[in-house]
Amino acid sequence: MSNHTFDDSSSGKIQGSELNWRYLLAEYKKPNLRKATGQLLNTFIPYLSLWILMVFIVQQGYSYWFVLALSIPASLLLIRIFIFFHDCCHNTFFASARANKILGYISGILAFTPFYDWRRSHGLHHATAQDLDRRGIGDIWTMTVEEYLGAPQLKKFAYRLYRNPFILFGPGALVYFLILQRFPKRGGRKKERYSVVVADLVILGIIGVSALTIGLRTYLLIQILIMGFAASMGVWLFYVQHQFEGVYWARHQDWDLVRVALKGASYYKLGKVLQWFTGNIGLHHAHHFRPVIPNYNLQWFHDTVPFLQTVEPLSIRRSLKSLRLNLWDEKGQKLVSFREIKRYRQQNGAF
C-alpha cells in the first residue's frame, strides 16, 4: 500500500503531513450533543407519528393508498435512522461509547440490522474499499472482466442475476435486511454473534407484541412496505457510493486510502431535502476521508476543506448510468458494461 500522498491533475497534491496535522486533528470529529439530540427529535417523532397514523388508517379500513403514500416519507425517515445507526457504528454520534451502543442497538433493530455484527463488516469495508485483492467484505459483488470471462456459466448467471437492478434494488434488498441480517456473518466474534441473537429476539418480540395489540396483518402491511422502500433506496445509496463512472479501484500493492476517498467514493449531490433524509451520506468522499466525523458535521467539513471540494459531484441523472456498469476493466481502469465485453470475447475467444 502506498503512503498517504495523493497526486491527481484534478485536485493537486496533498502531502501526508498536511493530511495528518492540518485536518485530522480538527474540530469536525467532535460529537455535538445539541445537534445529535435535535436529529433524534426531528426524526424519531415524525417516524413514530407516521407509524401510528398508518395503523389507524389500516384498522379503520381506509384505502391502502393512503398507507402507500405515507410509507414514502416513513421509509426516508428510516434511512435517516439508519444513518444514525451508521454513526454509532463509527462511535461518532455521541461522545459516550455507551450512548452510541444503546442508540446503535435501537436504531439497528428498527432497520433490522444487528449492531456489532454490522459494525464489524462496515469497519472492514472502510479498510478494504476499492481494493481488488480484498473484495467481498461489506461491499457490492464486483468482478473484473478477466474473472468474468474465465468463470463457469453458473457463476456468470449468478453474477448477472445479482447485478440485475430489478433484483439488486428490489427483492434482493429486502431479502438482505429481512433474512440475511438474521444470521451472523462469517468470521465474527462472540460479541458480533451475540448482537445478531439480541436483534433477532427483540424483533421477534416486537412482532409478537404487535400481533397481540394492533394485529399481525396490520403490522406486516405497514412494516414490509416501509422496509421494502427503505431497503431499496438504502442499497441504491450504498451501490452508487462506490459504483460510478470514473471510480477508482487498485490492486493491494497500489491501493491508497486517500485515493479511495477522493476517487473511489462518490460525492452524490441529492439536493437539500434528500440530503437531509439521507443524513449527508451523499458526501461519501468526505466520510471515507475521515470516517469519525458525525453526519451532522460532514457538510461543514466538506465546505471548509478545500481539496474535498475538488471532487466532481455526481448528479442523480448521471448516477443512473451506473446501472449498466457491471465489471472492472483492469486494462482500461474503468467500469464497463456486459455489452462492452463483447470485444473481449472476440479478442480472447471466451464468454
Domain limits, the chain:
6-132+164-315
Q: How far apart are CA 167 and CA 261, in angstroms?
A: 28
Q: Cβ distance 229 to 116 under 8 Å?
A: no
- Quick one: pLDDT at residue 121? 94
Q: How far apart are CA 96 and CA 94, in angstroms?
A: 5
Residue range 7-27: mean pLDDT, rounded: 51
Runs of H (alpha helix) within 90-215: 97-110, 115-128, 145-149, 153-163, 165-168, 171-178, 190-213
Q: How far apart are CA 253 and CA 276, in angstroms?
A: 38
- Quick one: pLDDT at residue 344? 61
Give the pairing of strands 327-329 and 313-314: unpaired
pLDDT at residue 21 is higher than 80: no
Q: Which residues pair with 237 in a beta bridge?
A: none
- Quick one: pLDDT at residue 19? 53
- Percentage of the chain modeled with pLDDT above 90: 83
Tell me, what DSSP letter sits at residue 175?
Answer: H
**Per the structure block, which three cell numbers stand in for 207?**
412482532
pLDDT at residue 277 is higher than 50: yes
pLDDT at residue 159 is higher than 80: yes
**Per the structure block, which three cell numbers stand in for 56?**
389507524
User: Is residue 5 classed exposed, middle or buried when 0-12, 13-18 and 19+ CB atoms within 10 A define those classes?
Assistant: middle
- Quick one: pLDDT at residue 8? 44
Q: How far apart are CA 184 and CA 4, in angstroms?
A: 34
- Quick one: pLDDT at residue 2? 42
Tell me, what DSSP letter sits at residue 305?
Answer: -
pTM of this structure = 0.91
What are the backbone angles phi and psi of residue 136, rounded to the nearest 5°?
100, 5
How would you label 54-67 residue by residue, b for 16+ Cβ within 10 Å and e otherwise?
bbebbeeeeeeeeb
Q: How far apart are CA 203 and CA 214, in angstroms?
A: 16
Q: How confident is the model at residue 214 (pLDDT cuts 50, 70, 90)?
A: very high
Q: Cβ distance 92 to 98 under 8 Å?
A: no
Q: Cβ distance 207 to 109 under 8 Å?
A: no
Which amino acid appears at position 226 of this protein?
I
More confident of the two residues 350 and 109: 109
Tell me, what DSSP letter sits at residue 206?
Answer: H
